A and B are shown apart, each in its own frame.
Chain A
């Protein structure tokens, strides 16, 4: 009989204990970083891998990025054009984003560092065919910014204060 009552008391006290814990947690600040509304910036890691940023002026058309790509999503076409005999000219630099893994393997082999991973994260479209293939030579990479992911002012990082930023900047 005594153990029965003890059990009931134990049940009541442990319930109260558990509920006190959730009560305390109710008043903690959410850690969620919200998806940015239009015009807002969001936080990026220095290693963010969004859509590529590509510098056609620097590219030497060596095709190493296309060879490194594990899914063959980079298509490069070269042209000798008016400068025949004086080296290659880039005609088409197209990335098929329906295949791309955002693995960053195209970035490392580039001898002139003309391709980086950018910060364009908003990849949703209303039509299935939109934005799947992007030809950087047709001026389609309109989101190209001066800020690469490694830049200290990239994204919201400049606006975030506190340990998160210090840790990343270190």
Chain B
């Protein structure tokens, strides 16, 4: 972002005449606004995508009345939710009840600041980008347990407890499988991680050996669980817990939870494509001018994001919900050991490749060559 602002200051005279701090402050506000609107619109359209895909899978059509092909359905839903009464239960803990949706929203949207939407199209290009994203998404847990506890309802408390247990557990395989990519890339900077995957398709980290390939699936599964998407949607199980932690929320506060959920989906879809699927690199060497390559890359990353969102939706409408003990079994007894094995395997792979150790065995040569 600083790059864009500096370019703006040198190219436009009257902006260059303004004090630097002022330009940066305004720039930050504008960029935040753009990212927020982009993420919100995309979240709204993801709801539409989900409803259309699920409709087709059940031999229905899905929403197709509002706007072309029903694309504006989320606006109609949003207006409806805005017009609803904002009920606060009499026994609720009011300040915490009111603060919870805001914290969930912040947790989901703050991470977009370090998320690259294309080459250089990133609000804050941090060297610890991946770490910041994983930390910020954990804030959501706090908001959710606040919502569940402050609602003073048995469904909400049960949902929030499940949510916290599930999210904290699944952050382990999520973090460890992301760690294996960090070992492979040697950096946590998301832009640098993508730059290392440019070129032919086998440069993508998902195709760098069996361990990276398994890491991709572990990361994606753990991300689904951290997003509380089906089949891991126990925290808001409609059939058992009414709606889990947001049972007592109405109107726009409910809409904020809903929006944050879909924004987190987009966040993890972009993050997965950046970490494993080459981000904005198309999978073959291209020869375009810098400006054109930047926007074409943004489009490619967008398409990859839509693809991953489609897969998430597809999984949701295919698989039934887990039982809570099976969720924990899958996390601690399957995904966690496998992700550790993958991380160790990738560490060996990098060690062999860097130091040349293990070249005396066939396995070492194969692994080091990945």
Q: Point out residues on A near B: beta carbons under 8 Å.
A: 4, 8, 11, 15, 18-19, 21-23, 25-32, 34
Whether A34 lies near B61 (C-beta < 8 A) is yes
B324 contacts across to A, CB distance below 8 A: none
Pick the contact of A30: B55, B333, B334 (CB < 8 A): B55
Whether A28 lies near B318 (C-beta < 8 A) is no
A31 contacts across to B, CB distance below 8 A: 59-60
Whether A19 lies near B318 (C-beta < 8 A) is yes
Whether B59 lies near A28 (C-beta < 8 A) is yes
> How far does the alpha carbon of A11 sit from the alpha carbon of B320 in the complex, in Å?
13
Q: Shortest distance in angstroms between B213's beta carbon and chain A's nearest beta carbon? A: 13
Q: Shortest distance in angstroms between B197's beta carbon and chain A's nearest beta carbon? A: 26
Q: Shortest distance in angstroms between A51's beta carbon and chain B's nearest beta carbon? A: 25
Closest to A20 in B: B318
Closest to A37 in B: B65
Contact A23:B314 (CB < 8 A) given known A8-B334, A15-B319, A18-B319? yes
> How far does the alpha carbon of A28 sit from the alpha carbon of B55 in the complex, in Å?
11
Pick the contact of B58: A4, A15, A19, A25 (CB < 8 A): A25
Closest to B231 in A: A15
Closest to B326 in A: A11
A4 contacts across to B, CB distance below 8 A: 333
Whether A22 lies near B59 (C-beta < 8 A) is no
> How far does the alpha carbon of A26 sit from the alpha carbon of B58 in the complex, in Å?
8
Q: What are 25 sample pairs from A and B whose C-beta atoms fall under 8 A apart? A: A11-B334, A15-B318, A15-B319, A19-B314, A19-B315, A19-B319, A21-B318, A22-B314, A23-B314, A25-B57, A25-B58, A25-B59, A26-B53, A26-B56, A26-B57, A26-B314, A27-B56, A28-B56, A28-B59, A29-B59, A30-B55, A30-B56, A30-B60, A32-B59, A32-B60
Closest to A30 in B: B61
Whether A30 lies near B59 (C-beta < 8 A) is yes
Pick the contact of A22: B60, B61, B318, B334 (CB < 8 A): B318
Given contact pairs A26-B57, A28-B59, A30-B60, a sample of 5 additional A-B residue pairs in the complex whose CB atoms are under 8 Å apart? A4-B333, A18-B318, A18-B319, A26-B314, A30-B61
Judged by a CB distance under 8 angstroms, whether B131 is at the interface is no
B317 contacts across to A, CB distance below 8 A: 22
> How far does the alpha carbon of A32 sit from the alpha carbon of B57 in the complex, in Å?
13
A27 contacts across to B, CB distance below 8 A: 56
Enumerate the 9 nearest inter-chain pairs by beta-carbon distance, A residue then B residue, closest first: A22-B318, A19-B318, A18-B318, A30-B61, A32-B61, A31-B59, A22-B57, A25-B57, A26-B56
Interface residues of B in 49-68 (CB under 8 A from A): 53, 55-61
